[in-house]
Structures are given as structure tokens and as C-alpha cells.
């Protein structure tokens, strides 16, 4: 079994239900996120369009975070999930440096690395990840990539525009997007100016409350 995730961006409406469900399910501390939905506005007024991109760990087949972790705190599960053992983690932040997707953060409460685990604890109880359950439009499709009859496999077979983020990194992500453009997948394809935007202030945070 190799679990994977697909987000159909044609369906996503940026409600952030997945983001909140993840926060609640995994008790993610303030100022940190395992899953987030990024809004990017494209075009110039009045010809504009708003894009929504849910961003989470890509559970790479060739995960740089797993390779660089000095104590195997980051490790593969048999189902392909890249899991994290917070009791083992020494907080070196090597994984934060290695992840090309910015998906790992230092938990300010435990001072250890943390990230999306595809809700491995729920999977173990035959439940879907919290974000999948919360999505009102079923934009999140989760399942076994090894099973040709699974929802995710059939979805991928029926589409020609399935993409991953940063394929050139050679990480072989198991997180896919349908209907994505450069603006969705490439952080350098959009401007990110610090300051107040729609509802909040874009800024940078001190890492883990230390240093």
C-alpha cells in the first residue's frame, strides 16, 4: 500500500475547512500549520482571478527530510506515509532545511520538528484524514496509489493534467494536484510582499520561539 493525496484545484474554493480541521485534529499550535491554503490573486484589476492552493507535506517517495534526519525521527511507514517521532527528534532543523516544500516546522511547544502525517493515527483506525472529511466539495482525494481501483488511482487515470510540486528536486512526491498552474505550484511565480493583505499581515516568524 502506498497512500497518496490528490487535490483537484478546480473544486477548491478556499474555504479553509481543511486547514481548521487539521488544526483541531492534530492540536497544531498557534503560528504553525501542517496544512494551509494559500491565496494568490492573478491579473490586474478588473481582470483578476483568485487562486487557492492547499499546501501540506508531500510524503515524498525519496524524502530529503527522512534522509537528513540524524536520529530517524522522520521515518517511512509501510503505507508510504513519512511519519515523525517527536520523542526521538533532537530539533536540529535539518529536515526544515531539506524540505523543498516548506512543509516542516519547529513546534514552539515541544521544540521538535512537526508536519502533516496524513493523519497517520486516523489511518491506523481506518478513518480518512481530517482534512478529507472536512472538505465540502471533495477536492481532497486520498487513497492507495497501488490499488488501481482506488478513488485516487481512477481519478489520476482519468485526468491528463496531474502535476506535482518541484518535480526537478527528484523527491517523487505522493501529493498531486489537478488543474494547477505555475502560480499554484511555484512560490517564485508570485510576489510575496510583507504587510497587510486581505485579512492578515504577511510576515516572517521567529522559528520555534527560539534563536
Partner 1 sequence: MAAHEILAATNAVVTLDVALPGIVWPWLVTVNMWAKSIGTGIIFMLFMLLKMYPDQAGKLRFPVTVVSIVFIHIFLLFTLADLHQPFRMWHIFFHPHWTSAITVGAWMATAFVGLLFVLAYLSFIKKDNVAFDKLLTWIVLLAIPVTLYTAALMSQSTARELWQMPTESAQMVFAALLAGSAFMILLGGSKLNYEAKKTLGTVLGLSALMSFILYMSEYVFGPMKAEEVAFVLEYIKGDGPYTVMFWLGQWIAYILPMLLIVLSRASRSENLLKLAAILALAGLWLVKHVWLIIPQLLPMS
Binding positions for partner 1, rule: CB under 8 A: 31, 33, 36, 38-44, 47, 50, 55, 64, 66-72, 88-94, 96-103, 105-106, 111-112, 165, 169, 171, 183, 186-193, 197-200, 202-208, 210-211
Distance CA 113, CA 101 (A): 15
CB of 99 to partner 1, least distance (A): 6
For partner 1, give the closer residue by CB, 38 or 159: 38
Q: Over the range 1-32, which residues count as b (16 or more CB within 10 Å of their CB) and which as e?
A: eebbbbbbbebbeeebbbbebbbebbebeeeb
For partner 1, give the closer residue by CB, 76 or 155: 76
CB of 48 to partner 1, least distance (A): 9
Q: Please give the grid coordinates belonging to residue 179.
A: 488543474
CB of 203 to partner 1, least distance (A): 5
H runs (alpha helix) in 27-127 = 64-68, 94-98, 120-123
For partner 1, give the closer residue by CB, 111 or 151: 111
For partner 1, give the closer residue by CB, 113 or 134: 113
φ, ψ dihedrals at 130, nearest 5°: -60, -35
CB of 208 to partner 1, least distance (A): 5
CB of 56 to partner 1, least distance (A): 10
CB of 153 to partner 1, least distance (A): 26
Check if the beta carbon of residue 187 is closer than 8 Å to that of residue 200.
no
Distance CA 164, CA 60 (A): 10
Distance CA 173, CA 34 (A): 16
For partner 1, give the closer residue by CB, 136 or 206: 206
For partner 1, give the closer residue by CB, 11 or 92: 92
β-strands 175-178, 3-8 pairing = parallel
Amino acid at each position: 500500500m502506498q497512500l497518496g493525496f490528490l487535490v483537484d484545484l478546480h473544486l477548491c474554493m478556499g474555504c479553509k475547512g481543511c486547514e481548521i480541521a487539521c488544526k483541531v485534529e492534530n492540536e497544531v499550535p498557534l503560528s504553525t500549520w501542517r496544512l494551509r491554503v494559500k491565496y494568490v490573486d492573478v491579473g490586474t484589476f478588473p481582470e483578476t482571478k483568485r487562486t487557492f492552493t492547499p499546501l501540506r507535506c508531500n510524503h515524498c517517495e525519496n524524502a530529503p527530510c527522512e534522509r537528513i534526519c540524524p536520529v530517524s525521527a522522520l521515518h517511512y511507514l509501510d503505507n508510504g506515509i513519512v511519519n515523525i517521532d517527536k520523542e526521538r527528534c533532537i530539533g536540529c532543523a535539518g529536515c526544515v532545511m531539506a524540505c523543498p516544500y516548506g512543509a516542516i516546522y519547529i513546534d514552539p511547544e515541544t521544540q521538535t520538528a512537526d508536519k502533516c502525517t496524513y493523519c497517520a493515527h486516523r489511518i491506523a483506525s481506518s478513518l480518512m484524514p481530517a482534512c478529507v472529511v472536512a472538505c465540502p466539495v471533495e477536492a481532497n482525494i486520498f487513497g492507495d496509489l497501488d490499488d488501481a481501483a482506488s478513488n485516487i488511482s481512477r481519478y489520476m487515470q482519468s485526468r491528463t493534467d496531474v502535476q506535482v510540486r518541484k518535480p526537478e528536486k527528484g523527491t517523487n512526491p505522493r501529493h498531486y494536484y489537478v488543474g494547477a498552474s505555475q502560480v499554484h505550484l511555484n512560490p517564485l511565480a508570485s510576489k510575496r510582499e510583507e504587510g497587510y493583505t486581505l485579512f492578515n499581515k504577511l510576515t516572517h516568524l521567529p522559528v520555534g520561539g527560539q534563536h
